[in-house]
Amino acid sequence: MNEQSTYTADREAYAQNTISVVQRTKQFLQRITDREELNAFITIDANRAVVSAGESDERFTAGLDRPLEGLVVALKDNISMKGLPSTCGSRMLEGYVPLFDATVVERLRNAGSIFVGKTNMDEFAMGSSNETSAFGVVRHPVDVSRVPGGSSGGSAVAVADNMCHVALGSDTGGSIRQPAAFCGTYGLKPTYGRVSRYGLIAFASSLDQVGLFSRSVADMETVFDVLAGHDPMDSTSIEAPSIVALPTNRPIRVGAMPMSQLTGCEQSVIDAYSRYLEALRATGASVVDVVLPHSETWIPTYFILATAEASSNLARYDGVRFGRRVDASDGDITTASRTAGFGTEVKRRIMLGTYVLSSGYYEAYYGKAQMARRLIRDAYVDIFKSVDVLAMPTTPTTAFGIGEKSDPVSMWLSDYFTVSAPIAGIPALNIPFGTDSAGLPIGMQLQGAMNSDEMLMGVAATILT
């Protein structure tokens, strides 16, 4: 099996009958089994995947193939799919099986996609290493002693290790882009509202966004074209976005985050960033330093807003109406259920979120974070009046060792380059850009104005050529 298999290449092979969809699907499923030690999947749906693949082969034979016929997809385990468990990586939802499809699942299935299973993730998408899952740590495909990043670590590993063509994830503060950088794949966090969130189990509703991992820009563009679009089931869905396209009458203008703002970066990342800017210049782009205002507020703003929303969203899991039920001798079922059902990191964030929303501290923390969010958004609007895209690293380091970051604050700081895009609601894309001396992937990031998702993918494709 070609380790660099892409859907774009496979679709041509399907049409020419040089390989069948069933054959390719079985190869992916075998790869999942062969690399079981990576723990990328929580649930594998092999039988239905092979049946769906057979139906795709029949459609190719009859000339009735759909836009994504034979695309093999993995789903992060917080995206609902009818008849398949959705645990969110938590004991709290162990055994929960949705009775409906998320809109993204419905759109992919209607376009001919095949689903091989649900990928492992940090519990309720809270984490940057995929060490908080109740179903075990996910391991890096290059070095199993290291983390793949999180929270969508299983999806990143599935794509990086050739277990599927593409995978869906969710990005709240970097949960697609950071593991994509660690594992060496493309990872897109779309503009907030471009892709439906209906059927995504919520962590922080004003920040969560469904996105995708791929091994090529072409695959990403093809899949995004199907995923994007208004959904009446999602009240935050954009009805008619004004798409920001690549300029055709002038060079693209790139704003580069200056070296002085590269907080905590390893030398290998700094060196790669310099090469990245040179690669952008080589395409004819105009590259100028742009200082990003309020960068010192990104991390505290994000964690105050995200934990506050998590506290509210996860209040429903009380063991009575929703979630795992644990009987208690003193009759306090809610406390017993939440104590047994949630892991340490989720409990930490619920407690922090409850604190910042409490009556004595609401304005001091949550109110100020909302004001900071407005300042960050306004700063981005001003920046994109003079540049088309922003360039910066995706992560300050390459993949770190399992258990290396036991201090939660040091773990949170690894999200420095990724949290501002969700705060502002703008799209951001990780581009794999070489490796360090140990062979670990390095990721570089592009950010754009609202609805410039297609532009970011176009710039990424240009860098490759």
3-state secondary structure of 357: helix
Active site residue 151: yes
Quick one: pLDDT at residue 382? 98
Considering the entire predicted model, what is its pTM? 0.96
Query: Angle CA(421)–CA(424)–CA(428) in degrees, nearest 5?
Result: 25
Cβ-in-10-Å burial (0-12, 13-18, 19+) of 113 comes to buried
Quick one: pLDDT at residue 453? 98
Contact at 8 Å (CB) between 236 and 422? Answer: no
Helix residue ranges per DSSP H, 201-341: 217-227, 267-282, 298-313, 333-341
Rounded CA separation 357/213 (Å): 34
Rounded CA separation 461/65 (Å): 26
Contact at 8 Å (CB) between 52 and 114? Answer: yes
Nearest to 204 by CA among 338, 323, 102, 307: 307
Averaged pLDDT in 10-residue chunks for the chain of 465 residues: 82 97 98 99 99 99 98 99 98 95 99 99 98 98 98 99 99 99 99 99 98 99 98 95 86 96 94 97 96 96 98 92 76 84 96 95 96 98 98 98 90 94 99 98 98 97 80
DSSP 8-state symbol, 365 = I
Quick one: pLDDT at residue 450? 97
Quick one: pLDDT at residue 465? 62
Rounded CA separation 105/73 (Å): 10
β partners of residue 435: 441
Rounded CA separation 366/311 (Å): 12
Rounded CA separation 142/132 (Å): 20
Active site residue 235: no
> What is the 3-state secondary structure of 127-162?
CCCCCCCCCCCCCCCCCCCECCCCCCHHHHHHHHCC
Quick one: pLDDT at residue 4? 72
Active site residue 76: yes
Distances from the Cα of 286 to the Cαs of 277, 389, 445, in angstroms? 10, 11, 17
Using omega within 30 degrees of 0 as the cis cutoff, is the peptide bond preceding 52 cis? Answer: no
Active-site residue identified among 86, 113, 151, 452: 151
Phi, psi of 306 (to 5 degrees): -65, -40
Active-site residue identified among 56, 86, 152, 175: 175
Rounded CA separation 362/308 (Å): 10
CA dihedral 262, 265, 269, 272 (to 10 degrees): 30
Active-site residue identified among 76, 118, 189, 405: 76
Cβ-in-10-Å burial (0-12, 13-18, 19+) of 327 comes to exposed
Nearest to 289 by CA among 397, 387, 394: 387
Residues in the chain: 465
Rounded CA separation 193/426 (Å): 10
